[in-house]
Structure 1
């Protein structure tokens, strides 16, 4: 049995591999295990230091010649949606997100598979099996939740749950200072709903309701089309050499 000390975590460095975001670059990651009774506390500290969680692993880029990946967090208490974002909220007013413990289901995996096949067929997650998906959801030692989005029903105001088909899912960690969006996916046929944007807006609303100051979005790479959406949610802070600093998006 492998022993992972809870007081002094060990950090490891991956071998170089081609970067999926910057052509010609090679990525490396530093990582550690999030296990034991200190996992939640460690996840909070590491996330505030620019790490991300995947299952029971916390990692962050440690590339030798590139610093393009920047950690991003939204200042939930100061956030005000743009006119376009308000339209997205109105467009999805018929949805309700029911939060529960991080438990996988065949319905979730079916939607997850449809999303990957439509949006990320050549991505690193494209070959994930139902077992891989189950591990992604439930292999966690921190406070992780699943939010399932469905259309509102006549009893939703009582049950807090929607009805009918599963439209979108978010896997999120609750931390002392905010919510961290680990992974989200949605029905790719409902492109006009802008469900990716909607789920971020919903997380901002949830963070504010709980008095949590931040929503962590992971990494942003300037110039990457895949990540451009992240800097639309302002005000936000980016983690740099001098710590977390407010980002000024000239395009907003």
Structure 2
């Protein structure tokens, strides 16, 4: 079975994001970029399936700017077999919308014919949480979102999902779309020998036009602003003062 994993290039989660002075977006100048953490978890899960003998090949796909080669090489160093880069934007500030991403991924899936697609549940830059669901709809495949455990058995998979009320386990027939939650696994660090080997692994570069997909945005950002600062907390001396403060604030 072949497993396909989409990965996205985002601002590194350790970086403090700065908004441009004119409010037109986020400042990306000299900012460290890395693989979306949820996608990194998805890559790790695909590699574990291969190590367990449940998968034969792991293919990673990224859609965006040419510089996303770095994140694909990271996935290859972790243990993926090959990568596909679809150049669909000239500038890192041009975020490809979920529907266009889903259409491009569908085109790749039609070519690759994977038995399972594992994606991150959302990207930490726009928090859309939509691509996996849209892809499942376009393909007509079953989907299991927010996965905290994936067990593949033959032509089906048991997926434990994190829902508001606790955990839910469902069974989906393969091929299927699974989106990874935070507690699915702990991604490995790529070793130096594997980083060197990754440079020789195949990485195919294509464009959105090669798949006949229009990536023109359907919405525009009107303004970007930093969230309002929260007022500082206060220390109360006893329960009576706490109750009094809450009453004055209208919380009780």
Q: TM-score range by the shorter chain?
A: under 0.3
Rg comparison, structure with higher value:
2
TM-score by length of 1: 0.27
More strand by share: 1
TM-score by length of 2: 0.27
